């Protein structure tokens, strides 16, 4: 139980992952969208998405050849907005 919480909070302790969450608060996104949004290469973006998914923050769903990520829990979305993550300045 404590390990799940540690994983959750560690996932939030990174600027790139917070920026990814910021964009997902607006709408669901394909993994391919984030490369330009967070100014990181696809390998790095994939690693960050994996961390967020394993922490239980994101859900993913296949849409043809693409994988679409979203914040599946509405209460969690609300909490992130209350914490001001949606106000983080866009990258680049």
Q: pLDDT tens digits, residue range 15-43?
A: 999 999 999 999 999 988 988 888 898 99
**Element housing 58 (H / E):** none
Q: Domain of 52: which CATH number?
A: 1.10.10.10
Q: Is residue 90 a part of any domain in this protein? A: no
Residue 17 lies in a domain: yes
Is residue 13 exposed (0-12), middle (13-18) or buried (19+ Cβ within 10 Å)?
A: exposed
In a domain? residue 22: yes
Give the pLDDT band of residue 10 (cuts 50, 70, 90). Answer: very high
Please tell me the distance from the alpha carbon of residue 30 to that of residue 65, in angstroms, as a whole number.
Answer: 10
Q: What residue numbers bound the domain in which 38 lies?
A: 2-82
Is residue 92 a part of any domain in this protein?
no
Q: Burial code of 32-51, b = ≥16 C-beta within 10 A, e = fewer?
A: ebbeebbebeeeebeebbeb
88 domain-assigned: no
How many domains does one find in the chain?
Answer: 1
Q: Examine residue 30 and state whether it is found in any structural domain, yes or no.
A: yes
Q: Is residue 91 part of a domain?
A: no
Strand partners, 66: 63
Does this model's pTM top 0.85? My answer is yes
For residue 87, being part of any structural domain is answered with: no
């Amino acid at each position: 139980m404590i390990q799940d919480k540690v994983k959750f909070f560690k996932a939030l302790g990174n600027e790139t992952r917070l920026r990814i969450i910021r964009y997902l608060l607006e709408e669901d996104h394909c993994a391919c969208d984030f490369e330009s949004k967070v100014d990181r290469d696809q390998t790095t973006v994939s690693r960050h998405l994996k961390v967020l998914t394993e922490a239980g923050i994101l859900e993913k769903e296949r849409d043809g050849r693409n994988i679409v990520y979203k914040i599946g829990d509405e209460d969690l979305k609300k909490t992130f907005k209350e914490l001001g993550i949606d106000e983080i300045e866009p990258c680049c």
